[in-house]
A = this chain, B = another copy of it.
Amino acid sequence: MRKTSLAQGNTPASESTDRKRLQMADIARLGGVSVATVSRALSGSTLVNAETRERIQQLAQSLNYSINLGAQNLRLQKNLTVGVVVPYDAQSRQHISDPFFLSIIGSIADALTDHGYDMLLSRVDSERLDAASQLYDSGKVIGVIIIGQWRHHDQLNQLAARNMPLVVWGGELPQQLYCSVGGDNRNGGEQATAHLLRAGRQRIAFLGDAALPEVWLRREGYLRAHAAVGLTPSPELEIAVPFEPDAAHPILERLCASGVAFDGVVACSDLLAIHMVQALRARGRSVPGDVGVVGYDDMPLAAFCEPTLTTVHQPVLEAGAELVAALLQLLNGVRALPRTLPVHIVVRASAP
């Protein structure tokens, strides 16, 4: 055990060069006071003489000293770091790339910053969402925001049951123990579908993996919109497509080649919509002439694609704010109810 109580000893191992970090004992020595006084001075305590306080603060500042937050947190049992978990697809080891995901991360970062929290960005296997608990159990973060429910509503429920503060971006499901915040997927799916039906389209394909709750809900909207006009869509029009473009593309091409007839498409992301347009045009079918395509998310570039995308707008900025607000509630021991944010269709060229 090293004896030097002052931070003079070279930091061992790992920190190879002499990156000795300044600590309170150093400030105390230099200021000719005790660590206790430094601690009080830096926290602005009135217990310490105003003149001394001032002097110590200056000293610390001039040396770029910052209180070691690890130690402070340990002592104070506090922590201002929130974990934001972005699942990745284990099979494809796909990178975070969907513009919508990235936007929402940005908006969460902003909201957390506004409230003085730090954001620890973490990736976990989408099949093991419960791995997120490690962040919490190890005390690294005080709560977690997970982007998307993926296929594991069950795991999310278990996490919440362990009473880890948790908010999930996704759909509101029956018997849900965790707090979710999400767009109104059912209504979004319905609006998208109804829009196509109103335009006289009859055979509308649905692109998305209904094993994901959000997609499942959109599909319900899709069915409901059909029912509202006395139709039942043919099952062959429901195509299970993952969100990852690379994995999705061949499936879309197969669909176009399959001979299954359709004149409308409801895609569960703008990215899917764009790839669908590509696949269709590659086989000589026009959009929106032969087929009307509606996307989902209204990503920033949706208005600049070719064709400009008709799509269901999700309120990204509000999403970040709401996710964070809900988590803060939980941290205050207040029960946070799931929240469904309104969505609306934006009509552009891909499905006028």
Instruction: Name the one of B16, B96, B109, B274 contacting A123, with C-beta atoms under 8 angstroms.
Output: B109
CB distance B140 to A11 under 8 Å? no
Nearest neighbor of A320 in chain B, beta-carbon distance: B95
Which segment, of A210-218, A286-294, A305-313, faces chain B?
A305-313
Contact between A274 and B16, CB atoms less than 8 A apart: no
Task: Tell me, rounded to whole Å, the shortest Cβ–Cβ distance linking A132 to chain B.
Answer: 12
Using Cβ atoms and an 8 Å threshold, which residues of chain B touch A332?
A: 16
Task: Tell me which residues across on chain B come within 8 A of A64, comparing CB atoms.
Answer: 133, 137, 162
Contact of A120 among B17, B67, B118 (CB under 8 A): B118
Q: Which of A159-179 contact B (CB under 8 A)?
A: 162-163
Asked if A21 is at the interface (CB within 8 A of a chain B CB), the reply is yes
Copies in the complex: 2
Contact of A121 with B123 in the complex, beta carbons under 8 Å: no
Q: Chain A 67-94 against B: per-residue CB contact (8 Å), 1 yes, 0 no?
A: 1111101100111010010100000000
CB distance from A30 to the nearest CB of B (A): 16
- A284 interfacial contact with B, CB 8 Å: no
Partner of A99, one of B77, B99, B163: B99
| A contacts with B, residue count (CB < 8 A) | 64
Complex Cα–Cα for A69 and B120 (A): 14
Q: How far is the CB of A334 from the nearest CB of chain B, in Å?
A: 8
- Chain A 119-135 interface residues, beta-carbon cutoff 8 Å to B: 119-123, 133-134
Instruction: Enumerate chain A interface residues (CB-CB to B < 8 A).
Output: 11-12, 14-17, 19, 21-22, 64-71, 73-74, 77-79, 81, 84, 86, 95-97, 99, 102-103, 105-107, 109-110, 113, 118-123, 133-134, 137-140, 162-163, 274, 278, 300-301, 304-308, 317, 331-333
Is B109 in contact with A16, judged by CB distance below 8 angstroms? no
Most buried by B among A22, A77, A113, A301: A301
| Minimum Cβ distance to chain B for residue A198 (Å) | 25
The minimal Cβ–Cβ distance linking A112 to chain B, given in whole angstroms, is 9
Apart from the given pairs A12-B77, A64-B162, A306-B307, 11 other A-B contacts in the complex at a CB distance below 8 Å: A16-B333, A19-B163, A22-B137, A64-B133, A70-B139, A81-B120, A102-B105, A105-B121, A118-B122, A119-B122, A301-B304
Name 18 A/B residue pairs within 8 A (Cβ), A-sorted.
A11-B77, A14-B77, A14-B78, A15-B333, A21-B137, A64-B162, A67-B138, A68-B138, A69-B140, A84-B121, A95-B106, A97-B300, A99-B102, A99-B300, A105-B121, A109-B121, A118-B140, A306-B307
Interface pair B11/A139, CB less than 8 Å apart: no
Q: Contact check: which of B11, B16, B84, B305 meets A306 at CB < 8 Å?
A: B305
Complex CA gap A78/B21 in Å reads 12
Provide the bound-state CA to CA distance between A219 and B17, in Å.
Answer: 39
Complex contact A66–B19 (CB within 8 A)? no
Instruction: Point out the residues of chain B lying under 8 angstroms from A119, CB to CB.
Output: 120-122
Q: How far is the CB of A92 from chain B (nearest CB, A)?
A: 13
